[in-house]
Amino acid sequence: MKIKELLLRTMKPDQTRDHNNIESVVERAGFLKRIDGRACYTTLGLILRKRIEMAVEECLNEFSEVAISGKKDLLSYNQSLHEYNRTFSASYKDIPLKIYTKEEIEFRNNQYESFWKTKSQNVIGLSVLGMEQSSVQELMMSVMKKLGIVCEMDRGGCYYRTLGGQDHFYGESEENKGELSETGTLNANDLIKVHTPAIRTIDDLCRFLKVSPEQVIKTMLYTDGSSKYAVLVEGHRDVDMEAVTRVLGIKEDSLRVLSPELVKELTGAEVGFAGPKDLKVDRIIIDSGIRKDRQYIAGANSTDHHLKGLTYGRHFTGDFHSVALREQAFDGWLVGEVRIHPEKIRVQSLKGDFEYHSLSLGYINIDRILLAMAEHYRDDIGSDFPQDISSFQAVVAVVDPRSEKGTEMGEKLYALLKSEGIRVLYDDRKDRIGSKFYDYDLIGIPQRIIVGKDAAFDIKDRNGAITEASLNNIVEIIRSKVIE
């Protein structure tokens, strides 16, 4: 590509702006611009985004690409993928079914000034029928490793940790994995209904029954306007509403605590006495910290009464997810996610009957990954992207475009490298060579072929190391630098 086609517009440092802010870095480099509150990709930015997409797709060699028309939010998009899998999977021969799509998804209902939080985000969506969710999460982590950015999985989300991030995650899970403590198991073998007059809080209940909060199940009731949900956590924990929203796959900010009137209508009891036994809701979410082999105390769905001896499987069931708030949260950005669709898909088995398979749905947020990579690979002078990700592998820079010999050699080198499949930029601007190098550093071009007035040329890398070259070996040198 010739630089006039690139429409390159880098920016000089502005003392009024925070140059540690990654958005300032990508604007200065000319990858993105903010226009009327919207994030706009330049030609250069689109090239970089395409390189990232290609790197991701290389990890999806066992997947088949499909396309689903129409812009949509994440909920309706996931439902469309579910319907595609449901109608396509006729028999066991189609399992496992692995597909991916490239879509623009609306994540939020309003605009944000931040490039990280624009209304629409470009994603590569993943859909896997007949495989474990953990396998899809491992695939996502392998993608991040290929891109060279360090990410962490937490509750199905893939996070890039950064102090400027506004998504919060917890890193390693704090789920209870040890043996039952002496105080953690109740001695009662049978379910006992206990009179607890006017006891509405966990603290009051623990004092009244002389138990610890870890022995109590807190039952929180919510609605999104159309369905009712119960979320169960141990008494010393609080519910992470954002995590619940993502588990349910519903729109952001749509979840609300059930009103006292609806609580009484649903449970037959006043607020403070709800419990999971015989609870008629559309879905029960159980925090993964709740033990399947422990007996608990919970509301009896009867005013002024609680139940002792509740156990999972015998007295209540539900889907386990990590949905409790934890003490130490980290700041970062959600760059990908893997979830199980709540509705399984029926597929004919080898024997002729039917089996039900879970559908794992996920997405990799290309826009956020571009920003994460820009932050991860930046240095004091600009961007130092990996060779296979950088927008260009090399640039042919003519020192003085007024020189016929220099220009002729520059054109010859450009044509040669381009014919060999090297991503090369041709720069014949009349700017000073120092100004050109400033641009190359910002946008992350690793190899610079400097052509003098007399048509002599050599190769200078981003760190200043110079390699002598000729027409006979320049392709080999550039390729060897890429391999290194």
- Average of per-residue pLDDT across 345-369: 93
Q: Is residue 178 over pLDDT 50?
A: no
479 phi and psi angles, rounded to 5 deg: -65, -40
Given the DSSP bridges, would you call strands 296-299 and 319-321 parallel, antiparallel or unpaired? Answer: unpaired
For domain 394-483, give its CATH number from 3.100.10.10, 3.40.50.12780, 3.90.25.10, 3.40.50.800. 3.40.50.800
Q: How confident is the model at residue 175 (pLDDT cuts 50, 70, 90)?
A: very low
Q: What is the DSSP string of 409-468?
A: HHHHHHHHHHHTT--EEEE--SS-HHHHHHHHHHHT--EEEEE-TTS-EEEEETTS-EEE
pLDDT of residue 484: 53
**437 Rama class: left (phi>0) / alpha (psi -120 to 50) / beta:** alpha
Token pair, residue 121, equals: 């985000």
257, containing H or E segment: strand 256-257
Cα dihedral 251, 165, 125, 324 sign? negative
Cβ-contact 446, 390 below 8 angstroms = yes
Cβ-contact 116, 334 below 8 angstroms = no
335 phi and psi angles, rounded to 5 deg: -105, -5
pLDDT of residue 19: 56
Choose between 19 and 54: higher pLDDT.
54
Provide CATH 3.30.930.10 ranges for the chain: 3-173+328-376
Q: How far apart are CA 447 and CA 302, in angstroms?
A: 74
Q: How confident is the model at residue 214 (pLDDT cuts 50, 70, 90)?
A: very high
pLDDT of residue 114: 80
**Local structure of residue 296 (DSSP, 8 states):** E
153, containing H or E segment: strand 151-154
Counting residues of the chain whose pLDDT is more than 90, the rounded percentage is: 66
Residue 194, C-beta contacts closer than 8 angstroms, at least 6 positions apart: 209, 297, 300, 305, 306, 307, 308
Q: How far apart are CA 253 and CA 77, in angstroms?
A: 18
Which of 22-26, 43-47, 475-479 has the largest mean confidence? 43-47
- Average of per-residue pLDDT across 106-133: 82
Residue 261, C-beta contacts closer than 8 angstroms, at least 6 positions apart: none
Q: Which residues of 310-330 are buried (b: 16+ CB within 10 A; e: fewer)?
A: bebeebbebeebbbbbbeeeb
Give the residue carrying structure tokens 């539900």: 318
Residue 239 bridge partners (DSSP): 324
For residue range 408-464, what is the model confidence (pLDDT) as tens digits?
999 999 999 999 999 999 999 999 999 999 999 999 999 999 999 999 999 999 888
Q: What is the DSSP string of 60-108?
A: TTT-EE----S-EEHHHHHHHHHHHHHHH--BGGG-SEEEEEEEEEE--
- Average of per-residue pLDDT across 130-157: 91
Alpha helices in 170-240 (DSSP H): 202-209
Q: What distances in angstroms separate CA 149 from CA 324, 335, 371, 401, one per listed residue?
A: 28, 11, 11, 39
What is the CATH topology of the domain spanning 182-321?
Answer: YbaK protein (3.90.960)
pLDDT of residue 76: 86
Given the DSSP bridges, would you call strands 424-427 and 394-398 parallel, antiparallel or unpaired? Answer: parallel
CATH 1.10.287.130 for domain 3-173+328-376: no
The single-letter code of the amino acid at 386 is P
Residue 296 bridge partners (DSSP): 310
Angle, in degrees to the nearest 10, between helices 366-376 and 22-29:
90
pLDDT of residue 16: 57
Ranking 35-49, 172-186, 283-297, 369-383 by mean pLDDT, the lowest is 172-186
**CA-based R_g, the chain, Å:** 29
Q: Is residue 190 over pLDDT 50?
A: yes
Give the residue carrying structure tokens 């630098």: 481
Provide CATH 3.40.50.800 ranges for the chain: 394-483
